Amino acid sequence: MGTIVIDSYRCSGCATCTEMCPEVFVLNPFTEKAELISSDQEVTDAVRQAAAFCPEKCIVIVEGEETDI
């Protein structure tokens, strides 16, 4: 399990993630920033790879379930 978070402030719109993982990431044509196609995405190996290759390191994978404290 995990949650994908994109820091859109740091995103340069390079489209690496959308090319590597087009079923998860999409470029917003207005902001030219990457977004998730759906907020409820599975963290696959392709997502982890896209996060690793993001030049701005702005794709963050938060592991585990959210816990109530």
Chain residues that interact with ligand SF4, rule: CB under 6 A: 6, 11-17, 34, 54-56, 58-59
Q: Which is nearer to ligand SF4, 22 or 42 (CB)?
A: 22
* Residue 17: CB minimum distance to ligand SF4, A: 3
| Upper half-sphere CA count for residue 36 (Cβ side, 13 Å) | 17
Report the relative pairing of strands 2-6 and 59-63 from DSSP bridges: antiparallel
CA dist 58 and 9 (Å) reads 8
Least distance in angstroms from the C-beta of 3 to ligand SF4: 15
61 vs 67 by CB, closer to ligand SF4: 61
In single-letter form, the type of residue at position 47 comes to V
